[in-house]
Structure 1
Amino acid sequence: MRKINYLVVHCTATQPNAEIKNIQNYWRKNLGWKSPGYHYVIKADGEIVPLLSIDKVSNGVANWNSQIINISYIGGIDKNGNPKDTRTAEQKASILKLLKDLKKQFPNAKIQGHRDFPKVAKACPSFDAKKEYKTI
Structure 2
Amino acid sequence: MASRLRYLVLHCTATPEGREVTGDDIRRMHLSPVSQGGRGWKQVGYTDIIHLDGTVERLVDNNEDANVDPWEITNGAKGYNSVSRHITYAGGCDRSMNPKDTRTPAQLKAMEAYVKDFHRRFSGVRIIGHNEVAAKACPSFNVQEWLRSIGINQ
Using the size of structure 1 for normalisation, the TM-score is 0.92
What does the per-residue CA deviation read over 1:27-84, in whole Å, with 9 as the maximum and x for residues that have no partner?
1111111211101100000000011123411011001011111010000001111101
- Segments of 4+ moved more than 4 angstroms: none
Aligned residues: percent identity? 37
Residue in structure 1 matched with residue 44 of structure 2 by the alignment: 36
Distance (whole Å) between structure 2 residues aligned to residue 62 and residue 105 of structure 1: 25
Work out whether 1:25 is the aligned partner of 2:28: yes
Q: How does 1:1-136 map to 2 (within 5 A)?
A: 2-15=3-16, 16-20=18-22, 21-29=24-32, 30-54=38-62, 55=68, 56-117=72-133, 120-134=134-148, 135-136=151-152
Q: Over aligned residue pairs, what C-alpha RMSD do you find?
A: 1.3
Number of aligned residues: 134
Q: Specify every segment of 5 or more residues in structure 1 that has no aligned partner in the other structure, as ranges.
A: none
State which structure, 1 or 2, has the greater radius of gyration over its C-alpha atoms.
2
> In the alignment, residue 26 of structure 1 is paired with which amino acid?
M
Extract unaligned runs of 5+ from structure 2.
33-37, 63-67
- Specify the SS of the correspondent of 1:133: helix
TM-score by length of 2: 0.82
